[in-house]
């Protein structure tokens, strides 16, 4: 009886072992290593620029009486930025008004003379020439009154133009004047960054042939050091939209469009990784790598069975099939890697 139980136990163990052996190949997958091309990137600093910077200019000369904005203020198109006052304009307005009042008095006299000449000629006591003379004098004064009113309207318009308006919606960069400053017509009162923000890159001349419009670049979060730029999760993607055809001082200039720069400072710098070349690498999925005692291993499937091979890893990247890790040494093109 004991011998029968012992035999049944051995049979059960053998069945379990067979099941495990049968299940192990089904639980593992093979990944065939193939050479693939990846972009080699270079870390450079991109400088935030505004597509357009427009000046808010004084339209008349005078003294700056009020300034309504400071550096960093957000302004809307047509919003008052400052007030320039020319004290002579008030005197010119008073003179124009006095001239109009004097001409109005002359107009009353001319109208009275015309009416008198009209009545006299109707009674036969005056000639037609006198009537024509009175009518001409009346018309001259009417035209003088109209001209004086137009001159006054021009002066009033000049007074209104003392208000300096924002030419576009944007952020104020600089305000080079202070209240009490004397400015001339056309002088800048404020500079406004009104265009869309972008990044301007300056790269060594040797990379000029490798930079292509439409390439994707990686932008780190705000900061000037790689540690400040954050991990990949903190990075954003931009696109090279323009490569300038002129090389200056051994540098090639490129512009990168990227969203989310609205709160950056103009001329602020941030870290950018831009592709400058392509190279061929061998790579495997990250889960294929196991680390034991500080050494990285990859399990290979060979005709003789499975064996662990020590490898040296490079950088991580994303391709069309998912995340990959570069293998610098230890693998060859065509090797079959066992995935867990």
Does residue 63 belong to any structural domain of this protein? yes
CATH of the domain at 254: 2.40.30.170
What integer pLDDT is reported at residue 10 of this predicted model?
A: 47
- Residues 280-333 have pLDDT tens digits of 888 999 999 999 989 999 999 888 888 889 999 988 887 778 888 999 988 888
Distance CA 247, CA 240 (A): 17
Does residue 8 belong to any structural domain of this protein? no
Q: Dump strand ranges (E) for 104-175.
A: 163-165, 170-174
Most confident of 76-85, 109-118, 220-229: 76-85
What integer pLDDT is reported at residue 260 of this predicted model?
A: 75
Range of the domain at 181: 58-83+165-193
Report the percentage of the chain scoring pLDDT > 70: 88
Calculate the alpha carbon distances from 7 to 1, 10, 18, 19, 145 in Å: 10, 5, 16, 18, 131
- List all residues 6 or more positions away from 207 whose beta carbon is below 8 Å from its beta carbon: 42, 252, 276, 277
> Do 271 and 199 share a domain, yes or no?
yes
Predicted confidence (pLDDT) at residue 24 exceeds the cutoff of 60: no
Name the least confident of 156-170, 220-234, 323-337: 220-234
Predicted confidence (pLDDT) at residue 7 exceeds the cutoff of 70: no
Token digits of residue 12? 């059960």
> What is the pTM assigned to this prediction?
0.55
Token digits of residue 217? 């670049």
Predicted confidence (pLDDT) at residue 340 exceeds the cutoff of 70: yes
Predicted confidence (pLDDT) at residue 121 exceeds the cutoff of 70: yes
Does residue 286 belong to any structural domain of this protein? yes
> Do 210 and 249 share a domain, yes or no?
yes
- Residues 87-107 have pLDDT tens digits of 888 888 999 999 999 999 999
> Do 182 and 204 share a domain, yes or no?
no
**Length of the chain (residues):** 340
CATH of the domain at 176: 2.40.50.100
What integer pLDDT is reported at residue 101 of this predicted model?
A: 92
Instruction: Give residue 55's pLDDT band: very low, low, confident or very high (50, 70, 90).
Output: very high
Instruction: Give residue 225's pLDDT band: very low, low, confident or very high (50, 70, 90).
Output: low
> Do 259 and 200 share a domain, yes or no?
yes
Instruction: Give residue 8's pLDDT band: very low, low, confident or very high (50, 70, 90).
Output: low
> Do 169 and 75 share a domain, yes or no?
yes
Instruction: Give residue 146's pLDDT band: very low, low, confident or very high (50, 70, 90).
Output: very high
> Do 246 and 127 share a domain, yes or no?
no
- Residues 193-206 have pLDDT tens digits of 987 888 999 888 88
Report the percentage of the chain scoring pLDDT > 90: 34
């Amino acid at each position: 009886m004991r011998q029968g139980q012992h035999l049944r136990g051995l049979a059960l163990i053998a069945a379990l072992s067979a099941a495990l052996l049968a299940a192990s190949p089904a639980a593992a997958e093979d990944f065939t290593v193939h050479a693939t091309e990846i972009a080699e990137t270079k870390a450079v600093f991109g400088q935030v620029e505004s597509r357009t910077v427009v000046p808010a200019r004084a339209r008349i000369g005078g003294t700056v009486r009020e300034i309504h904005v400071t550096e960093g203020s957000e302004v809307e198109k047509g919003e008052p930025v400052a007030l320039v006052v020319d004290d002579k304009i008030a005197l010119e307005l008073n003179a124009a008004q006095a001239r109009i009042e004097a001409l109005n008095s002359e107009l009353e006299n001319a109208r009275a003379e015309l009416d008198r000449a009209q009545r006299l000629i109707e009674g036969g006591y005056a000639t037609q020439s006198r009537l024509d003379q009175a009518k001409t004098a009346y018309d001259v004064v009417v035209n003088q009154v109209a001209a004086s009113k137009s001159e006054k309207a021009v002066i009033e318009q000049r007074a209104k133009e003392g208000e300096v308006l924002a030419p576009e919606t944007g952020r104020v960069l600089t305000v080079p004047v202070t209240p009490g400053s004397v400015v001339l017509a056309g002088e800048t009162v404020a500079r406004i960054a009104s265009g869309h923000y972008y990044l301007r890159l300056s790269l060594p001349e040797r990379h000029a042939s490798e930079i292509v419009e439409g390439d994707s670049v990686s932008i780190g979060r705000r900061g000037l050091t790689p540690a400040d730029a954050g991990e990949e999760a903190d990075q954003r993607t931009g696109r090279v939209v323009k490569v300038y055809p002129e090389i200056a001082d051994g540098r090639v200039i490129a512009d990168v469009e990227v969203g989310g720069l609205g709160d950056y400072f103009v001329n602020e710098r941030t870290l950018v990784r831009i592709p400058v070349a392509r190279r061929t690498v061998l790579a495997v999925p990250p889960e294929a790598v196991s680390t034991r005692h500080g050494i990285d291993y990859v399990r290979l499937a060979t005709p003789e069975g499975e064996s662990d091979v020590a490898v040296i890893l490079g950088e991580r990247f994303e391709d069309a099939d998912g995340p990959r890790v570069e293998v610098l040494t230890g693998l060859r093109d065509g090797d079959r890697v066992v995935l867990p």
